[in-house]
Amino acid sequence: MASANQVRASHILIKHEGSRRKASWKDPEGRVIKNTTRETAVSQLKAFREDIVCGKAKFEDIASRFSDCSSAKRGGDLGPFGRGQMQKPFEDATYALKVGEISEIVDTDSGVHIVMRTG
């Protein structure tokens, strides 16, 4: 349960050639990531977001199949967190959302994300 000054969120992360760590659970050697431009990552995420928003797909399902974050195995759930625990753009985007809302594209050193606030 998130405390008063905490939020809870799930996210879908797509890493790209500019990401800080160019490897993930689904691409341990980083072969795909190193060859993915930021533009490609963003267009993938925009398509996922569209499918989720219009009800064609569930956030958790897309996260568990496509997210480059290890939170994929939890459907993208990051659990509760407070200010100062996440990269600033990610934190700002999450706090700006209402519960149930999904962000536009968020850029961090890790890659590009869409965030769904869950608490």
CA-CA-CA-CA dihedral for 53, 70, 68, 85, to nearest 10: 80
Which entry of 11, 16, 24, 103 is annotated as an active-site residue? 11
Is 54 annotated in the active site? no
Which entry of 19, 24, 69, 103 is annotated as an active-site residue? 69
Is 10 annotated in the active site? no
- Amino acid letter, residue 118: T
Is 69 annotated in the active site? yes
d(CA 66, CA 111): 13
| DSSP state for residue 27 in the 8-state scheme | B
Is 110 annotated in the active site? yes
DSSP H/E element including 96: helix 88-96
Is 113 annotated in the active site? yes
Positions marked active-site? 11, 69, 87, 110, 113
